[in-house]
Structure 1
């Protein structure tokens, strides 16, 4: 199952290489040293959080603002973790943390699509873990290879190419592809409008504000657009 997971992830990872390459370039073009960029790529391993934090680091924003922004951008992993809780509670806490570092958006989607329910036997657990690690290793190698390439080539590429903005465009394309329902598309529009309206906030806090506004409004709207189950009839007897 390891190679099955790696093979299925490989086809998608090729498409993510442009994003990882541009993230590496963006780190260097923002003024980070090669050592800082390499450490950030290896330790953070989250393209969206990196792209959100890079301009804040370059602007000298306070640490709490950088951490809050990265936390808000990666809130989706809280949902992923809650979903995967029943799958991996048999593992020790340290191994769960280790596995969480390597598990990304796409590997989570592929894994839960192939295994809609947690394993019930030891054999099933081994198969599920092998599949997930196959996807994780493939994804990590593709991302880090192209990210490092972007880091080391970043200084050699002319600034006139404007490649530091290309990572943002790549992330925007990924975000648009995820807007598969009306509510998701609406949340993206709300977040965009809120970010523009709060553009004057310092340290790019408009991003954090936009996420908070979009999440709050969509939670309210979800109860209205989601049909409620019909009330159960109470029998008489």
Structure 2
């Protein structure tokens, strides 16, 4: 989608009053318990890492990427050079390049500063739920505000819930028993969302290929197995979709 001169501010009340914003918020509230459990575990791990409390709180509020935080902390504790810390975080978060590319059509009516803000808010759960609601993002019309409103309805509660839970995890680190399995709750949340997206054989095939790739590449450093798995899943999904489209066009002609 191209803006063609049409632009809107993220503060425009039409976005916040839009029914799709409300729908996105309601959808995220269903997933929020698992997200918050995951955030609390991340906060606990960070608080017990040995970093100063102010640094832990600052990282929790600004980074908004659990995998990057958990990859960077051990390197910071051993005094690794800053470029090594940045490189590790970059490798862990490469999947967000793919996420952002797929979410791009929904935010192109915004000025650059607001698009960057939306990029900061991108998370695994909100990405998955947005594509479940709008699987054909490239077909979104430039003046259709519903998809952007829905994305905001997902992203802001996700950010707020995650950070509240992470700060609670920091505050009560060591007092919540590991037997509660809070980290597994976050994993179950993503697994449930993934299952809701598998609507045909092509999607199932792409999901299986991505999962097998993640397991096969498990020993790679910096969790690069996840980056490669995302790339394999997206590439295989696109290839299967193109093949199905080609067969359909062939039958028509």
Corresponding residue number in structure 1 for 2:147 = 128
Q: Identify which of 53, 57, 64 aligns with 1:34.
A: 53
Contact 1:24 1:147 in 2 (8 A): yes
Gaps of 5+ in 2: 1-18, 196-203
| Structure-to-structure mapping, 1:108-147, within 5 angstroms | 108-115=127-134, 116-117=136-137, 118-120=139-141, 122=143, 124-125=144-145, 127-147=146-166
Corresponding residue number in structure 1 for 2:37 = 18
Structure 2 distance, partners of 1:212, 1:139, is 22
Cα offsets for 1:100-125 (capped at 9, x unmatched) = 11121211222222223353253x22
Query: Is the radius of gyration larger for structure 1 or structure 2?
Result: 1
User: CA 1:37/1:98 → structure 2, altered by over 3 Å: closer, same or farther?
Assistant: same
TM-score, normalising length from structure 2?
Answer: 0.69
Gaps of 5+ in 1: 196-205
Q: Identify which of 74, 86, 106 aligns with 1:87.
A: 106
- How far residue 4 of structure 1 moved from its aligned partner, in angstroms, is 1.3
User: CA 1:31/1:134 → structure 2, altered by over 3 Å: closer, same or farther?
Assistant: same
Which runs of at least 4 in structure 1 moved beyond 4 Å after TM superposition?
Answer: 169-180, 208-216, 225-232
Contact 1:69 1:208 in 2 (8 A): no
| Aligned positions, number | 213
Corresponding residue number in structure 1 for 2:79 = 60
| Structure-to-structure mapping, 1:218-233, within 5 angstroms | none
Contact 2:34 2:188 in 1 (8 A): no
What SS does the aligned partner of 2:141 have? coil
CA-atom RMSD, angstroms? Answer: 3.5
Q: Which stretch shifts more, 145-154 or 60-69? A: 60-69
- How far residue 210 of structure 1 moved from its aligned partner, in angstroms, is 5.3
